[in-house]
């Protein structure tokens, strides 16, 4: 999947770019099945709170799993897929590390959105265009089920953030929403947005669940060694490209690069295939 010059320019200028059909039908079905398995087995946690940032919500659900790669060899393999690496390096540069992976699932009717924020309010890299999220629409993402919204051209100013009372750990900001764009995506499409881009999702008002799978990538020159060795939340941070990349061997103890197609085929075969 080659990004066009226009797509790359759009990311650099506006801070985001949507890429329809990034994952094919088989890949998308494999991700849907695996995320259903994770939900079925209770791995997703409801981070929604009742307005005070502490009390667990009883009527709203913002289900998350972070990191997810411990629980899914498919999710672990995806960032090593050549088309992902090609797209990400074109957008942010060489010597890329996987920072984080995360599932966000909004059940039908009770699913709650994630408030406005800039990822760099958490991650604090010096150049917000040198880190990007790749948010994969696991199901069709529409206005009605709370798809992603972004504020264009706002990536270069850090907004003040405060604790979000509707989540047990999120922070939030208050950008100029009149400038926001709503990005509807078919399942398997992706939205790349840099660490500085304000974004949010809405409530799921439909009867069916909607999930997003988000990976965050950054360039090695935005970090120091402590990023790899300390202060983690138990998440390996595999070096994906550059001289220290080992195809995942150093971080996972086995080579993950090159396993994506087999993982997708295995998922299509179902249990034990």
Q: Which residues bind ligand AKG (CB under 6 A)?
A: 104, 114, 119, 133, 135, 199, 201, 212, 214
The residue (of 114 and 189) whose beta carbon lies closer to ligand AKG is 114
Q: Are 103 and 65 in contact (CB under 8 A)?
A: yes
d(CA 117, CA 163): 10
What is the smallest separation between the CB atom of 111 and ligand AKG, expressed in angstroms?
9
Task: Please provide residue 73's backbone torsions phi and psi, each rounded to the nearest 5 degrees.
Answer: -70, -25
CB-nearer residue toward ligand AKG: 158 or 262: 158
Kind and range of the H or E run holding 32: helix 25-40
Residue 167 in contact with residue 113, Cβ under 8 Å? no
CA distance 247 to 239: 8
Output the six-digit token pair for 243: 């001289």
Quote the least distance from Cβ 203 to ligand AKG, whole Å: 10
Residue whose tokens read 């220290």: 244
C-alpha span between 117 and 75 (Å, rounded): 24
Closest separation in Å from C-beta 249 to ligand AKG: 27
Residue closer to ligand AKG by CB (options 129, 245) is: 129
CB of 122 to ligand AKG, least distance (A): 9
Pick between residue 72 and residue 201 the one whose CB is nearest to ligand AKG: 201
Cβ-based nearer residue to ligand AKG, 73 or 132: 132
| CB closer to ligand AKG, 196 vs 238 | 196
Length of the chain (residues) = 273
Task: Using alpha carbons only, give the angle 96, 139, 201 rounded to the nearest 5 degrees.
Answer: 70
Residue recorded with tokens 């959105």:
113
* For ligand AKG, the closer CB: 104 or 217: 104
Give min distance, CB of 133 to ligand AKG, in A: 5
Work out how close the CB of 223 gets to ligand AKG at its nearest, in angstroms, rounded to a whole number.
18
Collapsing DSSP states into helix, strand and coil, what is residue 62?
Answer: coil
* Nearest distance from C-beta of residue 211 to ligand AKG, angstroms: 8
Pair 57, 46: CB distance under 8 Å: yes
Whole-angstrom Cα distance, residue 22 to residue 43?
A: 26
């Amino acid at each position: 999947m080659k990004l066009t010059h226009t797509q790359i320019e759009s990311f650099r200028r506006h801070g985001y770019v949507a890429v329809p059909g990034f994952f094919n039908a088989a890949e998308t079905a494999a991700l849907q099945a695996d995320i259903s398995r994770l939900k079925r087995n209770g791995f997703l946690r409801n981070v929604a709170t009742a307005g005070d940032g502490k009390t667990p919500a009883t009527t709203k659900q913002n289900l998350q799993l972070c990191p997810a790669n411990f629980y899914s060899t498919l999710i672990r393999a995806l960032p090593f897929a050549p088309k992902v690496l090609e797209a990400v390096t074109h957008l942010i540069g060489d010597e890329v590390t996987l920072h984080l992976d995360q599932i966000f699932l909004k059940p039908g009717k009770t699913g709650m959105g994630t408030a406005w924020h800039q990822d760099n309010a958490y991650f604090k890299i010096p150049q917000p265009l040198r880190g990007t999220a790749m948010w994969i629409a696991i199901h069709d993402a529409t206005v009605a089920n709370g798809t992603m919204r972004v504020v264009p051209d706002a990536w270069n100013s850090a907004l003040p953030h405060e604790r979000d009372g509707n989540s047990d750990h999120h922070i939030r900001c208050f950008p100029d929403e009149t400038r926001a764009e709503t990005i509807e995506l078919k399942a398997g499409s992706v939205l790349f947005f840099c660490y500085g881009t304000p974004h949010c999702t809405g409530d799921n008002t439909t009867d069916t669940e909607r999930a997003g799978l988000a990976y965050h990538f950054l360039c090695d020159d935005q970090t120091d060694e402590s990023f790899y060795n300390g202060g983690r939340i138990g998440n390996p941070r595999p070096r994906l490209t550059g001289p220290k990349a080992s195809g995942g061997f150093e971080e996972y103890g086995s080579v993950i690069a090159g396993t994506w197609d087999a993982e997708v085929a295995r998922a299509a075969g179902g249990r034990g295939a």
